[in-house]
Amino acid sequence: MTITAELRYLSQSDLKQLGADHSNAFMCAIEEGLQLHAKRQFTQPLKPYLRWPDAPHIADRIIAMPCYLGGDNPIAGIKWIGSRHHNPTKHQLPRASAVIILNDAETNYPVAILEASLISAMRTAAITGIATRYLAKSDFREVSIIGCGPIAQTQVQTLLEQYPQITHVHLYDLFPAAADKLISQFAPRFPNVNFTIQASAEAAVRLADVLVTCTVSDAPYIPFAWLKRGCFVSNISIMDIEKDVFLKADKVVVDDWDQSNREKKVINQLVEEGLFSREQLHAELGDIVSGEIKGRDNDDEIILLNPMGMAIDDIVCARWFYQAALAQQVGTRLPLF
């Protein structure tokens, strides 16, 4: 990596110019990041949550997510991601915003600042995309999405871009207008997919070969009894799945055990209650992607992925776009001195 005393700023428009409005680059980058995770070629401190008293909602926080990535092109970085639940209604802004700072691993000088809300959303969807390759039935056809807001949009986009065999997308949201909006966004682009709005979360869950939770729920509501045999659950929003699913699923997978077993999330609650442990975990996702541990053994298994979200995901994607920006001379160069 060329060492210069300047920053390259990449706006969301710059990132889209480099391909960030499609899932392909994120799938490649995330797979690379998971391989590095499996090889332990990273340093990733536990992410702190910054909250204050007048921000009572579970989604009201700022998170710092630092990471060093090794491999052929070592780099360090941090994502600083803020969220306020009232942003859409009170300020007509997206709920979450983010920036990523990349630092050269030789000098520790900052080399790039990237707008990161798009990266954050698309890398989260790519986790589902990659995991689906290893943990879903190979002939799956029906996807169910619980919650139809911004999280769902990139999840649906990635799954439909990467898996053309999908025939049905079942939607449920507490606000049907959100489901209508999602359908209007994707139905014209994917005319061979049947989009349906279900009357309840239970109805949507029971139909799923692949289930993705995309809510801001602070309490579980999806029990094991709703899941059909062979279902792969990508528990993106973390708090939706009842404890009995962790205990009864054939396999439970996380992205990173240490990151997942904290913050009083469901898996952390089970550990503290003595009902779950790392020994009961099937694998971390990187170990499956790297081939160290097998993912799905048969079409009857119910498999739960509980990804807390890793800084690795953000930094490996940011590195991909930073390198692409250097090669294509995209972005704004800002002198440090």
Distance (Å) of CA 259 to CA 22, 65, 153, 282, 284: 28, 11, 25, 16, 11
**β-sheet bridge partners, residue 69:** 42, 75
Residue 259 has pLDDT above 70, yes or no: yes
pLDDT at site 55 = 80
Taking the C-alpha atoms of residue 113 and residue 78, their distance in angstroms, rounded to an integer, is 10
With a cut of 80, say whether residue 120 has pLDDT above it.
yes
Containing 317, the helix (H) or strand (E) segment is helix 311-328
243 has catalytic annotation:
no
Clarify whether residues 298 and 330 are in a common domain: no
- CB–CB of 142/204 below 8 Å? no
* Residue ranges making up the domain that contains 249: 134-309
The verdict on 114 and 242 lying in the same domain is no
Asked if residue 210 and residue 319 are part of one domain, the reply reads: no
- Read off the CATH number of the domain in which 49 is found: 3.30.1780.10
Predicted confidence (pLDDT) per residue in 121-135, tens digit = 999 999 999 999 999
Q: Which residue has the tokens 């909250």?
A: 51
What residue type is assigned to position 40 of the chain? R
Residue 331 has pLDDT above 70, yes or no: yes
Q: Give a yes or no: residue 1 inside a domain.
A: no
In this structure, the answer to whether residues 156 and 293 fall within a common structural domain is yes
| 49 found inside a domain | yes
pTM as predicted: 0.94
**What's the token pair of residue 294?**
């097998």
Rg of the Cα trace of the chain?
Answer: 19
Regarding whether 273 and 327 lie in a shared domain, the answer is no
Inform me whether the pLDDT recorded for 102 exceeds 80. Answer: yes
Could you tell me if residue 126 is inside a domain? Answer: no
Q: What is the mean pLDDT of residues 191-219?
A: 97
- Return d(Cα 321, Cα 16) in angstroms, integer: 10
**Residue 288 token pair:** 């499956």
Determine the Cα–Cα distance for residues 164 and 132; give it in Å rounded to an integer: 13
Tell me, yes or no, whether 232 lies in a domain: yes
- Residue 203 token pair: 């109805």
Residue 196 lies in a domain: yes
Q: Are 171 and 196 in contact (CB under 8 A)?
A: yes
* pLDDT score recorded for residue 2: 52
Rounded to 10 degrees, the C-alpha dihedral 172/176/177/183 comes to 40
**Structural domain total, the chain:** 2
**CB 94, CB 83: distance < 8 Å:** no
Cα four-point dihedral sign 25, 39, 270, 64: negative
Same-domain pairing of 305 and 321:
no
228 and 322 co-located in one domain:
no
What span, in angstroms and rounded, lies between the C-alpha atoms of 44 and 50? 18
Nearest of 33, 109, 36 to residue 318 by alpha carbon: 33
Residues 20, 89 share a domain: yes
Query: Same domain, yes or no, for 61 and 16?
Result: yes
Q: Taking a C-beta distance cutoff of 8 angstroms, is the pair 180, 206 a contact? A: no
Identify the CA nearest to 22 among candidates 93, 119, 96: 119
Question: Residue 227: exposed, middle, or buried by beta-carbon count in 10 A (0-12, 13-18, 19+)?
Answer: buried
SS3 state of residue 8:
strand
Query: What CATH number is associated with residue 214?
Result: 3.40.50.720
The DSSP annotation for 24-83 comes to HHHHHHHHHHHHHHHTT-EE-PPPPEE--TT--STT-EEEEEEEEE-SSS-EEEEEEEEE
> How remote is the C-alpha of 203 from its chain's centroid?
24
The answer to whether position 124 is within a domain reads no
* Same structural domain, 57 and 151: no
How much of the chain, in percent, has pLDDT values that exceed 70?
A: 99
Q: 320 and 297 in one domain?
A: no
| Averaged pLDDT of the chain | 96
pLDDT tier at 58, thresholds 50, 70, 90:
confident
- Do 243 and 115 share a structural domain? no
| Domain annotation covers residue 129 | no
Q: Of 79, 264, 265, 294, which one is the catalytic site residue?
A: 79
Specify if 127 maps to a domain.
Answer: no
C-alpha to C-alpha distance for 222 and 213, rounded to whole angstroms: 10
Residue 289: pLDDT above 60?
yes
